[in-house]
Chain A
Amino acid sequence: MRVLNRSQVPWLIFVVLATLTALWIYLGNFQPELLPATFPVPSSLLQKPSDHRSIGGTPLGLVLGTISLGIFVFAALLGMRKKLPFLPVGNVQRWLRAHIWLTLLTIPLILLHSGFRLGSPMTTTLMVLYAIVMVSGIYGLVLQNRLPMMMKESLPAEIVFEQIPNVRAQLCAAAEKLQRSLKQQAISGSVVVATDISQEEVLAGFIEQRLIPYLRARRGEKHRLGQAREADEVFRHLKLRVDEVYRPSVDEMRRWCEERRLTDTEVRMQHWLHGWLFVHVPLSFLLLLMTVWHAFVTLFRY
């Protein structure tokens, strides 16, 4: 699913209008000389004479800061909304859209709130945290917009990410089951068309030494079977070494390897797709905590 599509247009318009409005009011209050004479800010939007010591401390600065803090809180609630899908508060897609666009709106709001200054080490820390969170978020947004398309092209059968270990375990179990079966056949000699017992041993040995280690590996791409071309070579040789009767089993093993390779590709892509959250989510909560503290300290201490 592409994150950016036509349904985002109303949000885009809203954010652009909100940014222009905030900038207009900001300039009207703090730098009226920069405002074109044809767009004066009405007196109702001009704040009263304020005994501020910084732009953030003025009533307008506080309004901008409060809106931003509210957006931070709302953005943090997205995770909770995902955990509680039954709540009748709009579907997750809408929440995600609001999360993306409202947090993008905080960029102009925070800049105007700060008056384009970093301020103290405390507020500088906040700004750095905010910048990391926003950059990681925008990076994630780009990936979320590009990677699903790439996954669709390179993954014929996408598996639910959380189910990948389970699927891999099932592949291992299937391989072990086939190995046990082949060993049993080799011992009992009950094969219908048993021309050469060593073929079963060859297959069982292949499964034990090559296939199962590959299917169990954490990083499959380091194994020979993890490379599609080499795996094809291996299975072609294997097929040549066994009779017709065992070739379906070899094909079956080849499909398991293909499936394992697909899961590897998917894991890799999923790591790209969700890896940024490793930075974004923890720092977002830290940012929220520090912002609340910043609001408390500046409102009630200084």
Chain B
Amino acid sequence: MDEERGTQREIAKSYRDRVQARFTRTMWRRMRFLLSILLFAGGVLAIYYCEKAKPQEFFNTGPLSRSHAHLKDGCVSCHTPDRLTSSAGQQQDFFQVLNDRFEKGAPSIERIDRACAKCHQQHDFHEPNVITNRSCSACHKEHQGLDALMAVANLDCASCHNNSKIMQASADRGRQLPPQSFHLNPKLVNLRQIVLQLRRPADGYTKTFASFSEGHPPFQLQRENVRDNDLLRFNHARHLNSSDIPPTKAGKLDCNYCHQPEPNGRYMQPISFEAHCQECHSLQFDVRNPDFQLPHGDAQLVRTFLRTLPAQYAELARRKRGLTNETKINEFAVQQVRQLLTQFPNAQELERSVFFTRDPYKGLQQNDASSRAKYTGCAFCHEVKQAAGISYPTAEITKPVMIERWLPHAHFSHAKHATVASCRECHVAAQSSKLTSDVLIPAKETCVRCHSPTGIARKASECATCHLYHSPGQASSVPKTASTISLEQMLLGASRSGVRGPSP
């Protein structure tokens, strides 16, 4: 082929004297050039139009969240159309903007956050020992669909909590702050709940870790081997495993008999004697009168009841026996008191027996269920002490304090877990726990089994699944003190050394 074609030199020679001295533009090149000019000019015109008319949809990066979908002013509710301005309202230097962008990512943090603060005035930021505050939009990603705003990624939390320098600085700052600066978040705990409040660690919660499954420390109550200090005696193992406990009206005794969820399904309702204990642990202290029962909940009231037995029997005669004749009522009362005192040497001994008996099943094991429900003595469950300085047997009963929230720094929903696990799968220790002091809250490892990237609840393994970032919104519950700083002040770099409002 090359022989046919000839060398470049031969080809050039054949065209010698036949070429023009100057290259001319072909039509195609001219058209290409023209098209480039036209498109470029079209682009300039489009930019001019957008700068003038500012078509909002053109710059909209995605659908707004459910919360912001109906803002009446549209884009300008958050995005002010003027050029970037600093906090002082002055235009920023070109290079300063660039520097901010490459250093922090978003120099418009103040402006966009001021827009947030127009509506979210009661938002406070994180804990008082935070080193660097973040823009709202750093965690709450807008323009990413209806529900994305609240879906805060682990990475946002880990940007500080997985940074040892930041955590160290935060620990240092926390040590300088008075303990009352830190308080539970009222959004996490119901003020009516009895909450376990542990002492804040010296370094606060500043351990460096990446995620719940990777490095998150064990729960503080397990780390510190916290015990339940409630003095009410309760044996989970006996109630759950014993075969000699007859079935209740609702069936065999199980977790759900006592631990019933709140209407919203999140936490358990408080345990009450009347709802959960009395069916078995009757207050019937007089065998002959099953409907004659001691009051519960107040030792003073019980004492008064016992010291006015004739009057109480008379009332029983009137209300339950249907007697109306005062003579017969008195006879009934006297008869009942006499019969009762045949079992006890005197009234003093009766009162002592009621308050201080600790062996309730003695002599009753063989009774059937209908006659078994006898009064077992306050001391069977309660701590009963003799009042100091009084010779007559005057009991003092330590009021039980049953903690309802053991992990007040996180929120939890029993309802969400009930569909995937039984009580005993998580509260494993309940089966064998014999002491009230046993804390039966599952360990972190139990949660990680599901709440990890490889678990079945991998999508619910974010920090925000359990924790809230925002610290207490003081304004709603407690009046702001002079030392409380607003979101705007905080973003503008106001001092954080002041003490916040008192803890709730």
Contact = CB atoms under 8 A, between A and B. Distances in A.
Interface residues of B, number: 63
B79 interface: yes
Contacts of A301: 83-84
Interface in B354-406: none
A83 to B, nearest CB: 12
A121 B103 contact: no
A209 B159 CA distance: 83
A281 interface: yes
Given A58-B105, A302-B59, A156 B6 contact: yes
B39 A285 contact: yes
Contacts of B40: 282, 285-286, 289
B151 to A, nearest CB: 14
B32 A297 contact: no
* Most central of B28, B62, B97 by chain A CB within 10 Å: B28
Contacts of A123: 61
Interface in B126-148: 132, 134-135, 137-138, 141-143
Contacts, number: 147
Contacts of A275: 28
B142 A163 contact: no
Contact of A286 (B43, B62, B104): B43
A286 B36 CA distance: 8
Contact of B26 (A51, A58, A162, A302): A162
Contacts of B38: 282
Interface residues of A, number: 54
A59 B134 CA distance: 15
* Most central of A48, A275, A283, A302 by chain B CB within 10 Å: A302
B106 A57 contact: yes
A293 interface: yes
A192 to B, nearest CB: 29
A166 B19 contact: yes
B347 interface: no
Given A49-B163, A278-B28, A293-B47, A158 B138 contact: no
A200 B98 CA distance: 81
B1 interface: yes
B5 interface: yes
A119 interface: yes
B210 interface: yes
A62 B453 contact: no
Contacts of B6: 156-157
B104 A299 contact: no
A170 B60 CA distance: 60
A59 B43 contact: no
Given A53-B142, A58-B105, A163-B15, A278 B159 contact: no
B62 A59 contact: no
* Most central of B25, B44, B61, B166 by chain A CB within 10 Å: B61
B264 interface: no
17 contacts: A48-B103, A48-B104, A50-B106, A57-B106, A59-B105, A62-B101, A120-B61, A152-B1, A157-B11, A160-B23, A163-B19, A163-B23, A167-B19, A289-B44, A299-B97, A300-B83, A300-B94
Given A152-B1, A166-B18, 5 more contacts: A51-B134, A53-B138, A59-B105, A63-B102, A121-B60
